[in-house]
Amino acid sequence: MDSLSFYEKRMYSQNGEDGIIEELFARIGTTNRLCVEFGVSDGLQCMSRHLLVHHGWSGLLIEADPDCFCRLALHFGQAPGVKLCHSRVTKENIATLFRENGVPDEFDFLSIDIDGNDYWVWQALHEWKPRVIVIEYNASFPPPQKMVIAYDPDFRWDGTSHFGASLSSLAELGKRLGYALIGTDTCGVNAFFLRRDLLEVSRFAELTPEQAYHAPAYGPDGGGHPRRNGPYLDI
């Protein structure tokens, strides 16, 4: 079985995702070469930078933190084809943000990493069908555990295991939205989903959460963040 981890290569991403993304689009091709990423911080270490800087893509970068957004504007404010949006992303406003910034129904790449309501925001984007989606998962809850944090539009991550959703929960959501789980990075941070109609041409197999899972390798507590109990939903 061809594994995504074989293609890990880090230019600007945190865990080698740049190489995986590059390989995916080498296989499935591109359409509009548009990337959308939220939770992008200052833009120096993110999923989209390699596509924007070295592959000539256009993109929408969304960041909530004022200081990070100021630095993002310094780095990308004059970049051709790049739109910047200063906003906290919630399930209530994400569709409006996409419409206001002209995001088409279908585009090539979406990255979701907001350290909290990732599951709920992806669910709210059911009208949009990006070809490749990368989303952070909570590896402290290995398959087959189902876990999604209770929705709170004002959620702030506190550095513990209370964030996001488990890989099993995200895989189920992905299926409902028309996506196949094809792998995770070896640090146990991000999950890769491919729109189901592209599976055959990609030559990557759809994986179960058990097959795709990598344990956390980024924190002080058994490889993950310090544990905190709930409130979680078992969905």
pLDDT at position 200: 97
pLDDT at position 111: 98
Q: Would the CA dihedral through 179, 181, 184, 189 be positive or negative?
A: positive
Please give the domain boundaries of the chain with CATH numbers for all domains.
Answer: 4-195 (3.40.50.150)
For residues 100 and 119, give the distance between their C-alpha atoms in angstroms, rounded to a whole number: 22
For residues 89 and 199, give the distance between their C-alpha atoms in angstroms, rounded to a whole number: 29
- Taking only the tens of pLDDT, the chain with its 235 residues reads 689 999 999 999 989 999 999 999 999 999 999 999 999 999 999 999 999 999 999 999 999 999 999 999 999 988 999 999 999 999 999 999 999 999 999 999 999 999 999 999 999 999 999 999 999 999 999 999 999 999 999 999 999 999 999 999 999 999 999 999 999 999 999 999 999 999 999 999 999 999 999 999 998 888 899 999 888 999 9
Q: Is 17 helix (H, G, I), strand (E, B) or coil?
A: helix
Q: Is 76 helix (H, G, I), strand (E, B) or coil?
A: helix
Please, are residues 75 and 102 in contact by the beta-carbon 8 Å criterion? no
pLDDT at position 1: 61
